Amino acid sequence: MTIATTEPTPNLTMEELLGIFPGARRTLFQLHHIGGCSSCGFSPTETLTQICARNGGLDPEVVLGEIKEGHLKDEALLISPLDLHARITDSSIHLLDIRTREEHEAVAISGSRFMTQEIMQEAMNWPKETEIVLIDHAGGRVLDAAAYFAGHGFSHVKGLKGGIDAYSEQADPSLPRYTTEAA
């Protein structure tokens, strides 16, 4: 009988690794310029070992460690739906919704603001210790947005883990859940 291991290995495909570590592409690009453009891209069916071999013979175990470390940094940029709900009345938190205007107008967390170019410019002038929580639909885009703000010096920026979908499921069932069509 074979027992499946839950510990990721360099022999997993990138599709499998990205399922475990959604920010792996960002980590690979930041540290090794892998996966960010057509000249350094990879296939979802390639293993991390194969990608490391064709990119200068990188050590797959070291790169996997970097991906894990990047994942921990990503997790530190997230706030759970229940934690946000417990703090939602705190007027010092700025809730910025990065979904489409139509999504925000259809369903929004009370007090959140739809992220326009004007609000983005305004936010860049806020004190760097301002608490910001970014909201998307399912949590897939908030890490990039949170990293953007953190890269501009904001020390208290978070993304809503699981997005408004998880928030409506776990913290505020009065908000209707919805699906979006894939592009």
Say how far apart CA 75 and CA 72 lie, in whole Å.
5
Whether 125 and 65 map to the same domain: the answer is: no
Q: In degrees rounded to 5, what are phi and psi of residue 41?
A: -70, 175
Structural domain includes residue 4: no
Overall number of domains in the chain: 2
Residues 98 and 56 in one domain: no
Examine the domain organization and report whether 166 and 83 are in the same domain.
Answer: yes
Mean pLDDT computed over 97-119? 96
Residue 6's pLDDT is: 67
Least confident of 7-11, 122-126, 146-150: 146-150
Helix (H) or strand (E) holding 76: helix 60-76
- Tell which of 30, 45, 76 closes a domain: 76
Structure tokens at 39: 């000249």
In a domain, 178, yes or no: no
Tell me the residue range of the domain where 26 lies: 14-76
pLDDT of residue 5: 52
DSSP for 5-18 reads P-S--TTSBHHHHH
Of 29, 44, 76, the one marking the end of a domain is: 76
Rounded to whole angstroms, the Cα distance separating 111 from 108 reads 8
115 within some domain: yes
**pTM flag (> 0.75):** yes
Q: In terms of domains, do 71 and 91 share one?
A: no
Same domain for 87 and 158? yes
Judge whether 176 lies within some domain: no
Q: Which of 41, 56, 76 is the last residue of a domain?
A: 76
Give tens-digit pLDDT for 20-57.
998 898 899 889 999 877 778 899 999 999 999 999 99
Our measurement of the distance from residue 107's CA atom to the centroid of its chain's CA atoms, rounded to an integer in Å, reads 21
**Do 154 and 86 share a structural domain?**
yes
Confidence of residue 156 (pLDDT cuts 50, 70, 90): very high
pLDDT greater than 50 at residue 177: yes
Is 166 within the bounds of a domain? Answer: yes
- Say whether pLDDT at 2 is over 60: no
Same domain flag for 158 and 84: yes
- Provide the pLDDT for residue 90: 75
- Same domain flag for 47 and 82: no
The helix or strand, by DSSP H or E, that contains position 142, with its residue range, turns out to be: helix 142-151
Band of pLDDT at residue 88, cut at 50, 70 and 90:
confident
- CATH value at residue 160: 3.40.250.10
| 3-state secondary structure at position 103 | helix
**What is the distance between the alpha carbons of residues 166 and 49, in angstroms, rounded to a whole number?**
34
Q: Determine the pLDDT at residue 3.
A: 47
